Structure formats: structure tokens, C-alpha cells
Chain A
Amino acid sequence: MSATPQLPPVAKLEQKTVVDLIAKGKRIDERGLESYRPIEIRVGLIEKANGSAQVHLGKSKVLAGIKVELGTPFPDTPEEGVLTVNAELVPLASPSFELGPPSEAAIELSRVVDRGIRESKAVDLKSLVIQKGKKVQVVYVDVYVLDHDGNLIDAAAMAALAALANSKVAKMEMKGEEVVSKGGHHQLPLNNHPVAVTFAKIDKTIVVDPSLEEEQVMSARLTVTIDKNGHLCAMQKGGLYGFTPDELKKAVNLAVAKAAENRAKIMAAAKG
């Protein structure tokens, strides 16, 4: 059951500072209202994974690892491989993350990242079939949050895309009844590059890429995921309040521009 979250213990004065600044068009870390924090992306840090990427979005740190394993396709899609996305909010990343089964926030995070990748058809699932209806490759995208300073959705989506673009898959074939390696690897084929852009509504102002301090005072959150053609492929509104239609239209148009900027950074970093 989903319950209204407990308010984070933030000093009222600190909250007021953030809100008052934004009302004047300024932010506590001196960014513009439509600016991202510095983005740093490193790929291939985990040798045992098929692909990996670590994203620093300001002080938020997210690591994504890709594992590709042998499995069976879903009965309704016998000619497609399988993609699964999972996110872990590990307790080392924030005092608010607790041990135990995935929290609602972790489930939402993984499902929003999943939707962007799946709906943009980023991973070429048809290329993962070894034997129709029987043997396919399963792509596991595991997102690991290491340090939570806000906007985990964008950081996780960036890390997932960079890690996928950095993934090598073993070439497999059927020999009789068995799946064997043909020897060698190939790049995991990607057809699209979805990028998530998240907005926070603070009082009456919309800002891009909210930090944790800003998330603690936002009334609502909106994520718009844009594919490489500038089309929308996923959206998610969160938070206790809502958006006016005009705010939504403005955010969607801004997301198209921001996604293009970030996509260039991600794909450049993924090439390594």
C-alpha cells in the first residue's frame, strides 16, 4: 500500500532559503533555472559486467551494470530477447534508504528508466534471439544508486544508456540442442538513445534537474523521456501536487532541447 511519505527533517530556514531564491529566479547552487549540474560519465569500470557506466550528476552518483545471460523468451514474444531493468537504492547512498524489499521509490525509479528504454525500442531485442521461441539472450540493466543528492531518475537513465552503449555481447549459436559460443564479441545493438529530463515545481516556478535540497521543497515532479528523434517515449508525474497544462507544454518543449544536449554528452562518453 502506498502512503503519504513522511516529511524529511529539513530545517524550515533552509527550506525557506531555497524557495525564496527560486522565487527570485536564482538557485541555491547558483545555477540557472534551466541548467543541469555538471555531468561526468565514465564507462567500463566493471570488467566482469558486459557493460557499465558511472554517472556523476552534481553530487549524485549512480552506477549501472549490464549483464547478458542466456534465457527463454516470453511466450507472447517468441522472436524477441528479454530486457529487465532493476534499481537498488542501497543504504550506503543516503540516510533515508533502508534495508529490505525494494521501496516504492526504487520501483518507480526502475520502471521509469525501463519505460524510456523499452518504449523507444532502444535495445534491438530481435538481435538477441538464438533459437526462436526457445533460447534468447536476456539483458539485465541493474542501476545502483551510490550517493543520493537528487534527480536520481535522470542520473539512472543516463547511466543505463551509457552502460548499454558500452556493452559487448558474446556471439552465440545453436549446435544441436546446445547453445555454444561462436567466439568473439559484438557491440550490443542499440536502435535509439532515450534521455530523461526531470523538472521540479517549487512554489510557482519550474526548475530543471532538482538537487536533493530542491526535491525536499518541491510540490511536484515531472520526468519527460525523449528519444533521438525528439519524440516523447515516456513520462511520469510525481509528488503531492500537480501541473497546469501550460507548465506541462513548456516543460515538454524544454525537455526536447535538454535531452539533445545530454544525449551528445552520454554518447560521446560511451564511445570512451
Chain B
Amino acid sequence: MNKLPEPKQPEKLIDDKGLRIDGRRLDQLRPLKLEVGLLDKADGSAYIEQGKNKILVAVYGPREAHPKHIAMPERAVIRCRYHMAPFSVDERKSPAPSRREMELSKVIRESLEPVVLTDLYPRTTIDVFIEVLQSDGGSRCAGITAASLALADAGIPMKELVAACAVGKIQGKIALDLSDAEDKYGDADLPVALVPNMGLVTLLQMDGNLTTGEFEQGLSMAMDACKTIHNMQRETLKKKYATVKETVEEREEQEIAA
């Protein structure tokens, strides 16, 4: 009885002016907000809002591997958990990990593996915890964007940040960064993670129906968006560490004055 009304299927995903249900153009991202270093106990943390997605990521490590037998002699083991809160979706989701969450934990870990310099920390683990507090379309990609920020915030040496974004097909047109409704009623979803300067796609999944031409168009649209997101990630880190630097300098000045 207390259930919220379920969103109805929109009549059109794209209106006569070529705008989408939330007023975006086909190649426009949803509003994106990034934050780092907001958790006290984690070695690194990040928060992302992308559309209605609200995702918190914590990184612990490198730390001693537990249980010991999972340790690898030549590199750090990366462990990753993508998990959705029970209240993150329209209908309550059981907190037990679903098959979908297990698959996503794997592909998200694999999207991060190529950039982390794991050979610097043999016999340790680096744990990445992704908690989806509220879910919208594209939560795995938002999770990756935030996870790579949290790794950087933890001070873990990386070749580069990984940025991710999905494209899809709605009403026969390729569109960037699908929302929940567009994903549900659209024709295809293509999540992509990119390491921009290495030119390496480290996550690629697809479901729906695309021609090879549409795939190529979608891939290039997703890669452009990843580059935009990558710049925002860098700015977020710079801003955070500029404030840290200022605070330290202020404190030093006060100490000298005293």
C-alpha cells in the first residue's frame, strides 16, 4: 500500500525537437557530481551523482591479504564488490548479492586491473567497495568512474584514471548516458570504460540490438564522453588536494605566528 507509483512507460523517448524525456540532447551527459575523500576510515573514498545515481566507493589497502592463501607472490590482489542497497531501486532488493551484482563486480574489477600498479605491492589486497545508494541507468559505469577516483584518493599508484560511460539506442537513435527509463524501454545498452591516454577500452558489454555501424558510432560517442568525464575526475582530485595544501599552509603559518 505504501509503494510508490511505478513510473509509466513514456509515449516517446525522443520528442519532435529531438530532445529526450529529461530534456537532454542525444549526445548530452546527465548532470555529474564528483567528490573525493569523504569517508574517515577508508584509505580512499569517492562519491558520484550521475542523474539519479548516488554511489559511494571506499578503497582499503594495500593491506595484508586475508585469508592468507588468496595472496599472490608477485602482485597485489584486487578485490571488488559492486553492491546495491535494498532501497536503491523501485522495488526493495534483497541485500544478498545477486548474480547480476556478482557479474558486475567481476567486470568492474577487470576494468580497473590494467591501470593499478599491482606489482608494487606483492602479497597484499586492494579492496574496492562500491555501494549503490540509489540506482539509475548506467550505475556500473558511474561505479567505475568513482572507484578509480577512490583508488587515486587512497594514494595507490596508477597509470591513469579510468572513466566510464554507457551509450544506448532509443527510438532507433544512438544516445549518450541512458537513464533508467531509457535503458528499460530502449533498444540497446553499451557500457564502456576507457583509459584515455592508453587508448584502451577496459570494460565493454552490450545487450539489445545494434548494427555494426551503430556499434562504431556508439563506441566513439562513449569514448568522447569518457574523455569529458576523465577531465572532471582530474579536476576533482586537483581541487581536493589544492584545499588540503591550503589548509596545511595556513596551519603552518599559524604555528609560526604562535
Q: Which residue from A111, A241, A256 sits with its C-beta under 8 Å from B103?
A: A111
Instruction: Assess the A245–B105 pair: CB atoms within 8 A.
Output: no
Distance in Å: Cβ of A13 to nearest Cβ of chain B: 18
In the complex, what's the smallest C-beta–C-beta distance from B230 to chain A, in angstroms?
Answer: 15
Partner of B223, one of A119, A235, A238, A245: A245
Comparing B107-115, B136-144, B148-156, B244-252, the segment that makes contact with chain A is B107-115
Contact A231-B210, Cβ < 8 Å, known A237-B205, A243-B204, A245-B223: yes
Inter-subunit contact B70/A237 (CB<8 Å) = no
Complex Cα gap A125–B166 (Å): 28
Which range holds the interface residue count of chain B?
Answer: 35 or more
Q: How far is the CB of A111 from chain B (nearest CB, A)?
A: 5
Are B113's CB and A4's CB within 8 A? yes
The distance from the CB of B144 to the nearest CB of chain A, in whole angstroms, is 12
Q: Does A154 contact B (CB under 8 A)?
A: no
Which chain B residues border A149 with CB–CB below 8 Å?
A: none
**How far is the CB of B78 from the nearest CB of chain A, in Å?**
5
* A233 contacts partner chain B, Cβ-Cβ < 8 Å: yes
Residues on the A chain within 8 Å of B99, using CB? 102, 107, 110-111
Q: B204 to A222, Cβ gap below 8 A?
A: yes
Once bound together, how far apart are the Cα atoms of A115 and B99, in whole Å? 13
Secondary structure of the A side of the interface?
Answer: mixed
> Would you give the 0/1 interface string for B187-229, flagging 1 where the beta carbon is closer than 8 Å to chain A?
0001000010011111111111111100110011001000000
Q: Who on chain B is nearest to A224 by CB? A: B206
Residues of A within 8 A of B208 (CB): 119, 233
Q: Are A115 and B201 in contact (CB under 8 A)?
A: no
Contact mask A131-159 → B, CB, 8 Å, 1/0? 00000000000000000000000000000
- Shortest B169–chain A CB gap in Å is 11
| Cα distance, A4 to B12, chains bound together (Å) | 43
User: Which of A7, A107, A111, A237 has a CB less than 8 Å from the CB of B201?
Assistant: A237
B201 and A233 form a contact (CB under 8 A) = no
Partner of A242, one of B125, B201, B205: B201
